A and B are shown apart, each in its own frame.
Chain A
Amino acid sequence: MRPPLFAKLTWLEAKLFLREPLAVGFTIAYPLVVMFVIAGVFNRPGEEIRGVGGAEYYVVSNIAVVIAAMGLIALPPHAASYFERGVMRRLRASSVPATAVLLAQSAVCFGVAIAATVVLLGAARPAYPYPVPQSVPGVVLGFVVGLISFLALGLLIAALFPTTRSAQSVGLVLFFPLYLISGAAPPLSVLPSAMRLAADFDPLKYAVRALQDPWFGYGITVTNLVVLAAIGVVSGLGAALVFRRR
């Protein structure tokens, strides 16, 4: 597909995304509200989580919530509905390959995630004056790798559950438990040990850490990035395989 056409498709997809109340609510409003509430709760003098103040801990970790909501809640039902309702067939009949549509949708999710993050950080600033990142490249790297791998996971869900309803349910069912044990909800240190063990299998925990570590000056942790990249590659390949078969 020629670049100007892809740009047009992506622009159209962006408009469609913004007309989707559930997607906008979950990816922009929800992390914002959760951040204000939970950062407020833990914003006490002397309260430290992972060596930083409660407020800044939660401002940063809610960026990962944006990422997870994008990949698990916004993208799967949207992509699945195109397969379910015959939008993909209609587009394919006019030489718009499904891959181009899925790429455009992912690109929009990527852009909206950046916008949501900017909104989140901007809104948090007056209430919880968090420090700037210790390593900006590290944070950007963590953000990009985390976001891409969650978007790939979203495409895998859409591939495996190609109806709006099922993709939406699966996304929501995955989102909440993963969120609760990721460290972006209660701090991991207060979780029972079984849950802390489970958290090691939670991709969102690695996304949270991939942002926090460089932000708070704990360096760029390779494990976080490798785990996220592996999830992204496996999901992406899996999705491509399923889509190809169809």
Chain B
Amino acid sequence: MPAVVDVQHLRKAYGGVLAVDDLSLEVEEGEIFGLLGPNGAGKTTTVECMEGLRHPDEGQIRVLGLDPSREPRELRRRIGCQLQQAALPDRIRVWEALDLFAALAPQAAPWRVVLERWGLEGRGRAAFSSLSGGEQQRLFVALALINQPQVVFLDELTQGLDPAARRVAWDLVRSVRDRGATVILVTHFMEEAQQLCDRVAVVHRGRVAAVDSPQGLISRYGGGVRVVFSTPAHQDADWLRRVPHVSGVARHGPRVEVSGDGPLLAHLGAALIAHGMEPADLRLEQPTLEDVFLRITQAPGGVPPER
């Protein structure tokens, strides 16, 4: 089956600034696909090229088999967009906005239903400018989903949402996917990527530096697991290097950090007991997506070697 979103060698510059530089990625049907990356990495530019809001300088894009630059109308009937930067007229009322966007999509749910689904009931007559940041964001997400799109682009979906609304948004994204849609999600929240995404691309300086499932990224780039405990400072810890699966030992005063991989904790625990040591604070520190993100985006020469 061809990819629902297929980007090959995308390049886009603004004046002299190269925002996207030879970026390629493929998103399969029914995936929730995350785009992570530092500010200015080119995520929004990439997504806007997919939405047909910007025209690539080079490269090829297909979304649902359509070229966004050449067939924007047909495409936009079938996709939903929540833009990182967008606004509605200050004095438009919430219901008027929903009503207009619903009129643009024959298959749209009635605006009263949408209002309720997004916890905006009672705000229908409120002017857009009087909404709180989170309420505006909910409205934009509602607008992105109003035409029951086959592909949804969410650029920083949960910025400004409170934790409860964030959970609501996540549930909605999952239900959109369960309905069969494909979701492209730009985010800076590692937890969101980890909870929601089937695969994540880390975008760095306009390229895809790595792409895999969150777990896959962690095991490839996370830098292994660490076990941490304390011992009295005089006690020797160098013998730990000979324990299976240990790759390094570091000491900071009473704190010992043992790095390694796989079943490190079990081996280390057994070895410590065999040595008559029973540290009460022995614990495993697993690398997170954040570690992956930092390792990739702060690596001096670009992408760090896989572990």
Known A-B contacts A89-B53, A93-B51; A9 and B86 likewise in contact (beta carbons under 8 Å): no
A245 to B246, CA, bound (A): 61
Does A12 interact with chain B (Cβ within 8 Å)? yes
* Size class of the contact patch on chain A: 20 to 34
Chain B residues, Cβ within 8 Å of A16: 89, 91-92
Contact between B143 and A89, CB atoms less than 8 A apart? no
Known A-B contacts A16-B91, A94-B101; A89 and B86 likewise in contact (beta carbons under 8 Å): yes
Q: Report the minimal beta-carbon distance from A125 to chain B, rounded to whole angstroms.
A: 33
In the complex, per-residue mask of A76-95: 1 if CB is within 8 Å of any chain B CB, else 0: 00000110011101101111
Interface residues in chain B, defined as those with a beta carbon under 8 Å from any beta carbon in chain A: 51, 53, 72-73, 76-77, 81, 83, 85-89, 91-92, 96, 99-101, 103-105, 140, 143, 147
Query: Residue on A with the closest CB to B96?
Result: A12
Q: List 11 A-B contacts (CB under 8 A).
A: A12-B96, A15-B96, A85-B87, A86-B83, A86-B85, A86-B87, A89-B85, A90-B143, A93-B83, A95-B77, A95-B104
Q: Report the minimal beta-carbon distance from B127 to chain A, rounded to whole angstroms.
A: 8
Within the complex, which residue of A15, A87, A92 is in contact with B88, where a contact is CB–CB below 8 Å? Answer: A87
Contact between A94 and B76, CB atoms less than 8 A apart? yes
Contact between A95 and B86, CB atoms less than 8 A apart? no
Q: Report the minimal beta-carbon distance from A229 to chain B, rounded to whole angstroms.
A: 31
* A-B CB pair tally, cutoff 8 Å: 57
The 6 A-B residue pairs with the shortest CB-CB distance in the complex, in nearest-first order: A85-B87, A90-B86, A93-B81, A19-B91, A86-B86, A95-B76
Contact between A94 and B104, CB atoms less than 8 A apart? yes
Q: Report the minimal beta-carbon distance from B123 to chain A, rounded to whole angstroms.
A: 17
Does A180 interact with chain B (Cβ within 8 Å)? no
Chain A residues, Cβ within 8 Å of B53: 89, 92-93
Contact between B86 and A87, CB atoms less than 8 A apart? yes
Chain B residues, Cβ within 8 Å of A93: 51, 53, 76, 81, 83, 86
Contact between A94 and B143, CB atoms less than 8 A apart? yes
Interface-central residue, A82, A85, A86, A95, by most chain B CB under 10 Å: A95
Query: Residue on B with the closest CB to A4?
Result: B103
Query: Residue on A with the closest CB to B146?
Result: A94
Contact between B100 and A87, CB atoms less than 8 A apart? no
Give the contacts of A1-48 with B (CB-CB under 8 A).
4-5, 8-9, 12, 15-16, 19-20
Does A96 interact with chain B (Cβ within 8 Å)? yes
Chain B residues, Cβ within 8 Å of A85: 87
Q: Report the minimal beta-carbon distance from B186 to chain A, rounded to whole angstroms.
A: 15
